[in-house]
């Protein structure tokens, strides 16, 4: 009876929040601070479209489950935060949605967006979504600040676009404490981080060396990494129990590195390396890691940047050096056309003297013309080889028993991925004693279990490589530069807005056939500028921007929108009908 009463009371409270939820439309920093203080669970704080310069937003409050407090742009992508600006998120059940950080910078040691308030209150159950940080760099590349710092527990960063970080400091970092994080980092687009001349330029780092023996349990999934070349470690895992799955890496000069910590899983990731120098796959350090179902193609890195690398370790290693690789499982991966497919004992020297021990390498396909397929920098201890296919070049060792040297008959499909074709000897040939996965990299059921990441199957493909069209903020709809000409528009064009006539919002789409400076502006019938929707350099691709009259005093009538992209200029008209 008491439990039933408690449920009814909770329902009444939730209904009360829903019925009394408010919207605060704010136009300046004073109104914003007041709205944050006054807001209650379920409320929404809406920032007026335009540029907010030199502002520190301290979003500290508490929502409740099902009724977060939301801080959002009036129109997603149309609120620009510039100058020396930062955002602090502190409290429980808070959502930040739809902002663009550009034409600005932060100060040393201060993240652009931090899941901790200015008074030190960490975030829990909070979310950053649909937000961009673009070229938010200081003039001095040695000024160290992160773009996103995650504190607290069970926070999420999703559908964000983080592009062009040129200075030292990780793009996105997870900070640990004595309790696990359980963060989720998904569906983001990490783009164009140039090579930095020293360490500290990772794209994602989960943990630090001094907290590396603590559990984080962070999941990084369905993200797209393009030309993230800052340093050797694209992702640097420095904690325990994390999952890295279903991410796609394109032309990234580095590796997904299990740098410190134990018991992490790397599953179902796609590495399209494009035969670029220094592109690699997965590097393993530490204990009890599992690397399964990954697809690595055209990796042209060597040493630490091989297709798969098992490092040597340091005796009695301090937290910031290299722990011996123990009991690693590398199974059901497909490594194709790598310059160095598998590197065992990498880094061996007088300090890194402990080779990998008690590891299992099973049911993988290593197929390449570059010799040898297996490089031994050191001799592993008690390494199990089982059910692997080595083909295309010399193996680098005598073929172990229960392994194979035959052509796996891989063929590229319409999605440009190598899979087993009918009749391949790799079908149903995997050693059943090392079945660590029940699905393949397509999400298809493994029945008898084929060798490699692909299970020959007629089931629908349910997991695919992530592309730039599917991640990041909806308002960008970025199409990345790649080698597939079908994804690059043949010419510049400005499309008719839709809907037209409109009230209060309409979408303006345009196409770029080359990287260029882009300006998209809206004018009234007298030629007065109403809004600037885009003013930045963009790569070739297809884009859309939303123009909204919500909260404005614009009247019904004819308006014009004009695109300038490099030397291309075009203007079209649209009708606002209130």
The three-state secondary structure class of 485 is helix
Q: Both 424 and 509 in a single domain?
A: no
The residues, ordered by sequence, that sit 6+ positions from 568 with a Cβ below 8 Å of its Cβ are: 492
Q: Both 258 and 352 in a single domain?
A: yes
The answer to whether residue 479 sits within a structural domain is: no
The HSE-up count of residue 97 (CA atoms within 13 Å, CB side) is 15
Q: Both 95 and 209 in a single domain?
A: yes
**Distance from C-alpha of 71 to C-alpha of 33, rounded to nearest angstrom:** 11
For residue 312, give the nearest of 349, 275, 357, 345 by alpha carbon: 345
Where does 394-495 have alpha helices with state H?
none
**Cα distances (Å, whole numbers) of residue 333 to 98, 113, 287, 336, 399:** 38, 36, 19, 10, 18
The HSE-up count of residue 263 (CA atoms within 13 Å, CB side) is 10
Q: Both 247 and 394 in a single domain?
A: yes
Residue 349 DSSP class: S
Please check whether residue 250 is in contact with residue 244, taking contact to mean a CB–CB distance below 8 angstroms.
no
The three-state secondary structure class of 209 is helix
**Cα distances (Å, whole numbers) of residue 411 to 12, 124, 367, 484:** 60, 46, 12, 18
The answer to whether residue 463 sits within a structural domain is: no
The answer to whether residue 90 sits within a structural domain is: yes
The answer to whether residue 40 sits within a structural domain is: yes
Can you name the residues that pair with 96 across neighbouring β-strands?
71, 128
Contacts 24+ apart (CB under 8 A), 62-66: 62/91, 62/92, 62/93, 62/94, 63/91, 63/92, 63/93, 63/94, 63/95, 64/17, 64/92, 64/93, 65/93, 65/125, 66/14
Q: Both 206 and 276 in a single domain?
A: yes
The answer to whether residue 34 sits within a structural domain is: yes
Can you name the residues that pair with 128 across neighbouring β-strands?
96, 157
Total domain count, the chain: 2
**Distance from C-alpha of 440 to C-alpha of 117, rounded to nearest angstrom:** 42
The three-state secondary structure class of 233 is strand
Q: Both 62 and 196 in a single domain?
A: yes
The answer to whether residue 460 sits within a structural domain is: no
**Distance from C-alpha of 310 to C-alpha of 304, rounded to nearest angstrom:** 9
For residue 282, give the nearest of 305, 250, 312, 251 by alpha carbon: 305
**Distance from C-alpha of 246 to C-alpha of 441, rounded to nearest angstrom:** 8
**Cα distances (Å, whole numbers) of residue 541 to 223, 289, 455, 478:** 19, 38, 34, 6
Q: Both 351 and 498 in a single domain?
A: no
How large is the greatest C-alpha to C-alpha distance in the chain, in angstroms?
81
Q: What is the pLDDT at residue 558?
A: 94
**Distance from C-alpha of 62 to C-alpha of 89, rounded to nearest angstrom:** 10
Tell me how many degrees the CA angle 397-400-401 measures, rounded to the nearest 5. 160
Q: Which CATH number goes with the domain that contains 506? A: 2.60.40.1930
For residue 135, give the nearest of 69, 194, 195 by alpha carbon: 194
End-to-end Cα spacing for the chain:
54
**Distance from C-alpha of 410 to C-alpha of 412, rounded to nearest angstrom:** 7
Q: What is the pLDDT at residue 222?
A: 97
**Distance from C-alpha of 509 to C-alpha of 497, rounded to nearest angstrom:** 7
Q: Both 416 and 522 in a single domain?
A: no
The answer to whether residue 102 sits within a structural domain is: yes
Please check whether residue 572 is in contact with residue 536, taking contact to mean a CB–CB distance below 8 angstroms.
no
Q: Which CATH number goes with the domain that contains 305? A: 2.160.20.10
**Distance from C-alpha of 307 to C-alpha of 330, rounded to nearest angstrom:** 12
Beta strand extents in 363-463 (DSSP E only): 365-367, 374-376, 384-386, 389-391, 410-412, 418-420
Q: Both 121 and 209 in a single domain?
A: yes
Q: Both 80 and 223 in a single domain?
A: yes
Domain that holds residue 132: 21-434
**Distance from C-alpha of 450 to C-alpha of 430, rounded to nearest angstrom:** 5
For residue 113, give the nearest of 95, 101, 125 by alpha carbon: 101
pTM above 0.85, yes or no: no
Beta strand extents in 396-504 (DSSP E only): 410-412, 418-420, 493-494
**Distance from C-alpha of 327 to C-alpha of 289, rounded to nearest angstrom:** 7
Q: What is the pLDDT at residue 17?
A: 52
Cβ-in-10-Å burial (0-12, 13-18, 19+) of 259 comes to buried
**Distance from C-alpha of 211 to C-alpha of 179, rounded to nearest angstrom:** 11
**Cα distances (Å, whole numbers) of residue 327 to 26, 134, 219, 237, 383:** 56, 41, 22, 18, 9
Q: Both 379 and 510 in a single domain?
A: no
Q: Both 231 and 376 in a single domain?
A: yes
Residues of the chain with pLDDT under 50: 1, 7-15, 478-486
Three-class SS string for 7-51? HHHHHHHHHHHHHCCCEEEECCHHHHHHHHHHCCCCCEEEECCEE
The answer to whether residue 10 sits within a structural domain is: no
Structure tokens belonging to residue 355: 């080779």
């Amino acid at each position: 009876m008491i439990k039933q009463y408690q449920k009814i009371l909770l329902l009444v409270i939730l209904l009360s929040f829903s019925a009394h939820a408010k919207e605060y439309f704010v136009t300046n920093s004073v109104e914003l601070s007041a709205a944050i203080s006054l807001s209650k669970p379920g409320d929404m704080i809406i920032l007026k479209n335009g540029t907010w310069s030199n502002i520190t937003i301290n979003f500290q409050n508490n929502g409740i489950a099902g009724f977060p407090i939301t801080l959002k742009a009036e129109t997603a992508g149309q609120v620009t935060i510039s100058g020396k600006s930062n955002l602090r998120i502190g409290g429980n059940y808070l959502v930040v949605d739809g902002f663009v950080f550009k034409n600005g910078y932060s100060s040393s040691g201060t993240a652009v967006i931090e899941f901790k308030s200015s008074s030190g209150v960490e975030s829990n159950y909070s979310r950053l979504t649909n937000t961009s940080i673009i070229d938010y760099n200081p003039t001095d590349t040695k000024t160290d600040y992160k773009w996103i710092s995650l504190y607290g527990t069970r926070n999420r960063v999703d559908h964000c676009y983080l592009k062009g970080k040129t200075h030292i400091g990780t793009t996105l970092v997870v900070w640990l404490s004595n309790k696990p994080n359980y963060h989720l980092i998904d569906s983001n687009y990490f783009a164009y981080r140039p090579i930095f001349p020293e360490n500290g330029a990772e794209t994602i780092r989960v943990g630090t060396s001094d907290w590396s023996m603590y559990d984080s349990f962070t999941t990084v999934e369905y993200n797209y990494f393009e030309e993230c070349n800052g340093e050797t470690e694209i992702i640097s895992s420095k904690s325990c129990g994390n999952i890295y799955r279903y991410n796609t890496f394109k032309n990234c000069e580095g590796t997904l590195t299990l740098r410190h910590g134990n018991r992490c899983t790397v599953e179902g990731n796609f590495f399209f390396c494009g035969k670029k120098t220094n592109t690699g796959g997965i590097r393993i350090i530490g204990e009890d890691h599992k690397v399964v179902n990954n697809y690595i193609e055209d990796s042209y890195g060597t040493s630490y940047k091989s297709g798969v690398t098992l490092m040597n370790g340091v005796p009695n290693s301090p937290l910031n050096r290299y722990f011996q690789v123990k009991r690693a499982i590398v199974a059901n991966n497909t490594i194709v056309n790598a310059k160095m497919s598998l590197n065992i004992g990498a880094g061996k020297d007088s300090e890194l003297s402990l080779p990998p021990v008690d590891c299992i390498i099973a049911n993988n396909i290593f197929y390449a013309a570059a010799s040898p397929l297996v490089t031994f920098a050191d001799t592993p201890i008690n390494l199990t080889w089982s059910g692997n296919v080595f083909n295309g070049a010399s193996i680098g060792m005598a073929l172990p028993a229960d392994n194979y040297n035959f052509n796996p008959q891989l063929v590229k499909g319409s999605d440009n991925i190598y899979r087993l074709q009918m009749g391949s000897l790799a079908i149903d040939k995997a050693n059943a004693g090392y079945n660590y996965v029940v699905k393949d990299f397509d999400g298809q059921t493994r029945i008898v279990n084929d060798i490699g990441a692909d299970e020959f199957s007629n089931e629908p493909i349910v997991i695919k490589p992530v592309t730039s069209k599917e991640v990041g903020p909806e308002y960008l709809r970025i199409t990345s530069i790649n080698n597939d000409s079908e994804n690059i528009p043949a010419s510049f064009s400005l499309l008719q807005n839709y809907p037209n006539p409109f009230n209060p919002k309409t979408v303006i789409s345009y196409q770029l056939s080359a990287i260029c400076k882009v300006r998209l502006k809206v004018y009234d019938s007298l030629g007065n500028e109403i809004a600037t929707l885009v003013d930045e350099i963009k790569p070739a691709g297809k884009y859309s921007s939303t123009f909204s009259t919500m909260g404005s005093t614009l009247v019904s009538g004819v308006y014009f929108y004009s695109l300038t992209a490099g030397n291309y200029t075009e203007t079209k008209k649209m009708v606002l009908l209130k």
